[in-house]
Structures are given as structure tokens and as C-alpha cells.
Amino acid sequence: MAKALYGHVGVARDRRITDEVTRLRATVRALEFEIARLRAENDRLAAAVAESDDHLLRLEPALT
């Protein structure tokens, strides 16, 4: 019985599962990088819009 238990416990992980976990971790890293890039771009665009709005507020009205 002990040998059967040792054989079950000592079995290495399935190579396919290890490969899948590695692939999924790489995908998560790539997605996290993309999220950071998109957030930075969004912040840049939001700042540009805010600056544009400030500029428009300083203009005189078109119709008086």
C-alpha cells in the first residue's frame, strides 16, 4: 500500500498542463502590459481633451 501511495504522490505533473500554465502566464503578462499601455494612452488623451476644453473656455463667444 505504501508503494502505491508513494507512486501516486511522486508522479510528476503532466507536461501538457505545465505547458498550458506557462502559456497562460505569458498571456496574462501580455494582457497586463496592454492594460498599462492603454491606461497611459487614455490618460494622455484625457489630458489633451481637458487642455482643449480649457482653451475653448477662454475664447470669446461667437455670437454676442
Range of the domain at 45: 13-58
For cell 490618460, name the residue.
43
Mean pLDDT, residues 4-29 taken together: 80
Average pLDDT, the chain: 80
Read off the C-alpha cell for 20: 498550458
Task: For residue 63, tell me if it sits in a domain.
Answer: no
Where is average pLDDT lowest: 18-22, 34-38, 52-56?
52-56
pLDDT, mean of residues 38-53? 88
Average pLDDT of the segment spanning 42-58: 79
- With respect to residue 40, please indicate whether it lies within any of the assigned structural domains: yes
For the chain, the domain total comes to 1
pLDDT at 32: 98
Strand runs labelled E in 1-64: none
Q: How far is CA 14 from CA 7, 11, 18, 50, 59, in A?
A: 14, 9, 7, 54, 68
Is 70 exceeded by the pLDDT of residue 30?
Answer: yes
